[in-house]
Amino acid sequence: MKCGKVYLVGAGPGDPALITVKGMECLRKADVVIYDRLIDDSLLEEASPGAEKMYVGKGRGCHAMEQKEISLLIVSKAREGNTVVRLKGGDPFVLGRGGEEAEILAANQIPFEVVPGISSAYAVPAYAGIPVTHRSLASSFTVITGHEDPEKDKSSIAWDKLSTGSDTLIFLMGMGNLAQIVNQLIQNGRQPSTPVAVISQGTSPKQRTISGTLKDIVPKAKQENFEPPAVIVVGDVVKLREQLRWFDNLPLFGKRILVTRAEHQAKELSQLLLSRGASPVGMPVIEISPPRSWRELDRAVRNLKSYRWVVFTSVNAVDIFWKRLYALQLDSRWLADTKIGTIGPATAAALEERGVHPDYVPKIYTSQGFLAGLKRNDIAGCKVLLPRADIADNEISDGLARFGAEINQVTAYRTITAAKSNSQAKQMLLRGEIDVITFTSASTVSSLLAILGQKWEIIRKARLACIGPKTAAVLTQKGIKADIVAQEHDIPGLVAALEHYFKERGK
């Protein structure tokens, strides 16, 4: 059997968006992914569905595998003919034992490549607003392990030279030895008044930073209960933090926000929340399911030439309509003589991806907004096809009928309560650890309440954010007022409403 190849890939410091382009390319083609403790789960989702994912993480006092076992595992999987990605936090050659793994591969004549990653040594301080060098303050920086190999006879750190030999000192894996590090620096000539920052879980929405000096940073870290992983920065550049901090000043920084959308639609909202510093917690409470029979929708598609209008009220309706077009060996040309109406820019964008520009998109993305704008169009006597969810209300169809249109409302898909929801997210909600619950449709409200059962009133502990008034009305029926209702009834509008809410209240 032909030997495979190993890629030692640096995943970056925590934020999954910081993996390199080449690192992502390797990950997507891997047969086997062997990954560490601090790898973000969303990166693992980028691997192919058939890839074998093997956890070998190591934490303080808890090792899934010892280093020798990890190295032998990498060799074994490569010898089976696999493309192996060894996914490591930060950069594999910066205090990451990637060098040792490369030595083993070389000794066993296993082909390998090293894909450098963004190191936490400079990325984590950058996310805390601390440049490791600065023209006026620091012309050098040094990266030091805060946790040497315990089997070494003596320390290889020359504290007498290191303490004052570099402007900025950056210690990785040093949280457990913070007191010893501080003592060594002071004893070897660094002034007790030297600024220090400790940054925990850097580049993630859970990032925490404390600043002080060599004299007081240890009691401050104990008081704040700081734990690994953490980066320690020593030097005058720490003074720039208050002026340059940006990440933990993002409008939704640190907020744990429940995303209840169907799994295949949650990405847009989660990414927007991440970009604002929030920590999205996925708990899909609904699933999109086919109708019990395609007969009615297929009949409408075949007879599309008899309709003057087709109105799409959701991206799901567009997706499923096109799947039936293809199933019937038709394509976008079949709509050439039909006018297209949509509610909202996302639905319009889904059409445009298929080469169809809608004839009508209302300025207000609601059923009422759609009908109000459509009054100006002469649709009396027109036949209108409305492919929709099984649970959709009749506001649009009744309104169109009042205008004199002939309506055929067809079930294109069913919205059902998710059979399996994220149990971890549910437990966080029940423990009161969620700051905001987002609802993007009436069905997400009713489905979450159904999943929670008799404990549904726990949602009162979180702030409740709705994409529009119709969604908020479902909460009102339960005697609960939504805290946040978006003015623009789409995903960006919901995120903007969240930002506005917390800005007004000073977060």
CA distance 486 to 475: 15
DSSP state of 207: -
Q: Which residues contact 294 (CB under 8 A, 6 or more apart)?
A: 324, 327
pLDDT at position 62 is 64
Contact 116, 90 (CB under 8 A): no
| 178 and 326 part of one domain | no
Same domain assignment for residues 85 and 151? no
Quickly tell me which residue has 């949602």 as its tokens: 459
> Position 469: which residue type?
P
Task: Say what angle helices 345-352 and 315-327 make with each other, to 10 degrees.
Answer: 20
Share of the chain above pLDDT 90, in %: 81
pLDDT at residue 297 in the model: 97
* Co-location of 143 and 243 in the same domain: yes
One domain, residues 458 and 408: no
Q: How many domains does the chain have?
A: 4
Pick the catalytic residue: 31, 40, 88, 173? 173
- Confidence bin at 93 (pLDDT 50/70/90): very high
pLDDT score at 155: 75
CA distances to 165, 167, 198, 335, 493 from 140, rounded to whole Å, are 9, 5, 19, 65, 45
One domain, residues 144 and 215? yes
Say how far apart CA 505 and CA 355 lie, in whole Å.
Answer: 44
Q: Which residue has the tokens 């009396």?
A: 380
**Rg (alpha carbons) of the chain, rounded to whole number:** 28
Output the pLDDT for position 419. Answer: 79
Which pLDDT score, from 0 to 100, does residue 151 have?
A: 58
Are 104 and 8 in contact by the 8 Å Cβ rule? The answer is: no
Residue 353 CA: distances (Å) to CA of 266, 350, 357, 450: 19, 5, 9, 35
Q: Checking DSSP bridges between strand 195-200 and strand 208-213, what pairing results, if any?
A: antiparallel
Task: Identify the three-state secondary structure at position 67.
Answer: helix
Q: Which two tokens stand for residue 33?
A: 């992914």
Residue 160 has a pLDDT of 94
C-alpha to C-alpha distance for 297 and 325, rounded to whole angstroms: 10
Q: Is 22 helix (H, G, I), strand (E, B) or coil?
A: helix
**100 in the same domain as 67:** yes
Give the helix, strand, coil percentages of the chain, each rounded to 5: 40, 20, 40
Q: CA-to-CA distance for 165 and 190, rounded, in angstroms?
A: 10
Asked if residues 481 and 463 have their Cβ atoms less than 8 Å apart, the reply is no
Residue pair 118/91 in contact by the 8 Å Cβ criterion:
yes
Q: What CATH number has the domain bearing residue 204?
A: 3.30.950.10
For the cut 70, the answer to whether the pLDDT of residue 459 exceeds it is: yes
The pLDDT confidence band at residue 59, using thresholds 50, 70 and 90, is low
Cα separation of 127 and 120, whole Å?
10
- Identify the weakest region by mean pLDDT among 127-136, 253-262, 378-387: 378-387
pLDDT in tens, 169-188: 999 999 999 999 999 999 99
Q: Quick one: 378 and 277 in the same domain?
A: no
CATH at 476: 3.40.50.10090
Residues 338 and 408 reside in one and the same domain: yes
150 pLDDT higher than 90: no
Is a pLDDT exceeding 80 seen at residue 293? yes
Catalytic residue of the set 22, 53, 58, 267: 58
**Which residue range forms the structural domain that includes residue 444?**
256-285+418-504
502, containing H or E segment? helix 491-504
Task: Specify the amino acid at residue 11.
Answer: A
- Annotated active-site residue in 15, 36, 167, 490: 36
- 65 and 126 housed in the same domain: no
Whole-number pLDDT of residue 351: 95
Same domain, 309 and 279: no
Q: What is the mean pLDDT of the chain?
A: 92
Active site residue 216: no
DSSP 292: S
Annotation marks residue 36 as catalytic: yes
pLDDT for 357 equals 93
The CATH number assigned to the domain holding 39 equals: 3.40.1010.10
Tokens at residue 406, please? 């002939």
Over residues 216-245, mean pLDDT:
95
Domain boundary (118, 142, 174) is at: 118
Determine contact, residues 341/325, Cβ cutoff 8 Å.
Answer: no
Q: 252 Cβ partners below 8 Å, 6+ apart?
A: 273, 276, 277, 278, 498, 499, 502
Tell whether 422 and 281 lie within a shared domain.
yes
Do you find a cis peptide bond into 229, omega within 30 degrees of 0?
yes
200-227 pLDDT, tens digit each: 999 999 999 999 999 999 999 999 999 8
The pLDDT tens digits of the residues spanning 412-421 come to: 999 999 977 6
490 included as an active-site residue: no
Say which residues have a Cβ less than 8 Å from residue 76's Cβ, sequence separation at least 6.
none
Residue 497: exposure state from Cβ atoms within 10 A (0-12, 13-18, ≥19): buried
Greater model confidence, 87 or 344: 87
Select from 67, 94, 118 the last residue of a domain.
118
Question: Mean per-residue pLDDT for 14-35?
Answer: 96
Same domain, 323 and 306: yes
Kindly give the residue spans of alpha helices, DSSP state H, lying in 11-60.
21-29, 41-44
Q: Which pLDDT band, with edges at 50, 70 and 90, does 60 fall under?
A: low
Final residue of a structural domain among 91, 118, 145: 118
